[in-house]
Amino acid sequence: DEPEIPEQLSAALNSLSPSDALRELLSLSPQARLDALLALSPALAANLLAQAPNETAVEIVGHLEPDRAAEILALLQSDVQADLIGELGTSGAEAILSELEFESASEIRRLSAYDGDTAGGLMMAEVFRFREADTVGKVLRDIASADDDFERYRGQHPYITDDNGHLKGVASLRGLLTAKRSATLQSIMTVPISVSVDTRLDELEDLFDAHPFLGLPAVDDFGVLVGVVARSAVAEAVLERAETQSLKRQGLVGDELRSMPLWLRSRRRLAWLSANIVLNIIAASVISAYEATLAAVIALAVFLPMVSDMSGCSGNQAVAVTMRELSLGLVRPIDAFRVWLKEISVGVINGIALGLLIGLVAWLWKGIPALGLVIGLALALNTMLAVSIGGVVPLLLKRIGQDPAVASGPLLTTVTDMAGFFFVLSFATVMMPWLVK
């Protein structure tokens, strides 16, 4: 990377689309990235931070001087601010918050206390807010004013509260346009669809599917209007969840990007791999118990990895279908038996098909008919077992409160490895007279 003069860099990044600029920024070394951010205008830096994956943004903010971080943070929307502050360590967060105005600092503190996958964690605190006694004319004047704040409301409807902040109504565009300017909001408002700060992401997704609003008002336990959940924030959270789930299946907990420090990436991946190695050793102990059989029919060793790998693939297909149906809300943990019935039907068909195929291969390759029978039968049974486990295990894990995305894969693979080795080697032990020519 050639050294660049900050102004040139700033101009270069300015000329790129946000996603291109972000890619360039992330491809720099951590130090160069910091230097670049310092050279940028706070507005551009804020824009890039808002675009960046959360983990990267947190890392960058954590490395900035608190006053600079606060300057950039002040330009972000409250929901993004709260996400960043919530993921910084306490001391880092407080150093930055102390540089902000008292009011916005306490707002960020309040927002960052909510769980990220609830309305409270997703909402922004900026609300286009009026009183019942305000007139239509006041709303229209506010909309028409050149005030920048209007932009921050991102197309919210005007929400109406009583003097204690309780959400009372919402004014529709149609209501505003057809009423006299002197009419009070109380006379034209309708009862809004609102959510609680504790409303979960799934439910928010359903609500936005059902209603064409850009945002929904969020109230606390007392009915006080505390924020607005934007449609875009919900869509982003849903996407993020799908991605995180897909990464977790590979043991990548805490979304990894290659711009993160080497040791962090290495350590996180190793944590899962080391647990996996223990499971592998458990599975391998089955082979170890049958070394005598293996020594007698060495060709079995050729097919051991094949049987366990093929069953693992079949089982992972079942896991993937269940995970998708879970995320679409089409199955619940209590549907486990129904899912199993659906899976075992596929398992019987595919088990027989794959068993015949590999049995034929084993027979023709090694010239021993009984070897074909042993391998084919083992794969057929293990496929049925694998799809049964794969279809149902995510539901059982979910029922006992575990994350199915993390544990399903390793659990499945360990059981299908052990069972696959066991089927092949125990069948071979029984069939020994026909296997040894």
Site for its own copies in 268-327 (CB under 8 A): 269-270, 272-274, 276-277, 280-281, 283-284, 287-288, 291, 294-295, 298-299, 301-306, 308-310, 313-314, 316-317, 319-321, 323-325, 327
Residue 123 or 294 with smaller CB distance to its own copies: 294
Alpha-helical runs (H) found in 134-179: 136-144, 149-152, 173-178
Q: In what order do the strands lie in the sheet with 195-196?
A: 195-196, 215-219, 225-230
Binding status of residue 161 toward its own copies by CB under 8 A: no
Residue 164 or 258 with smaller CB distance to its own copies: 258
> Please, which of residues 97-136 interact with its own copies by CB under 8 A?
none
Q: How far apart are CA 329 and CA 308, in angstroms?
A: 31
> Please, which of residues 50-79 interact with its own copies by CB under 8 A?
51, 53
Q: How far apart are CA 64 and CA 36, in angstroms?
A: 11
Residue 100 or 405 with smaller CB distance to its own copies: 405
Q: Residue 310: how many CB atoms within 10 A of its CB?
A: 21
Q: How far apart are CA 250 and CA 158, in angstroms?
A: 45
* Interface pattern 354-373 for its own copies (x via CB under 8 A): x--xx--x---x--------
Q: How far apart are CA 358 and CA 351, in angstroms?
A: 10
Kind and range of the H or E element at 215?
strand 215-219
Residue 34 or 238 with smaller CB distance to its own copies: 238
One residue of 30, 254, 329, 367 binding its own copies per CB under 8 A: 329
Of 65-73, 120-128, 216-224, 332-340, the window that binds its own copies (rule: CB under 8 A) is 332-340
DSSP summary character for residue 192: P
Shortest CB 186 distance to its own copies, Å: 20
Shortest CB 65 distance to its own copies, Å: 26
> Please, which of residues 207-246 interact with its own copies by CB under 8 A?
208-210, 212-214, 231-232, 235, 238-239, 242-243, 245-246
Left (φ > 0), alpha (ψ -120 to 50) or beta: where does 324 sit? Answer: alpha
Residue 113 or 235 with smaller CB distance to its own copies: 235
Catalogue the E-assigned strands of 76-125. Answer: none
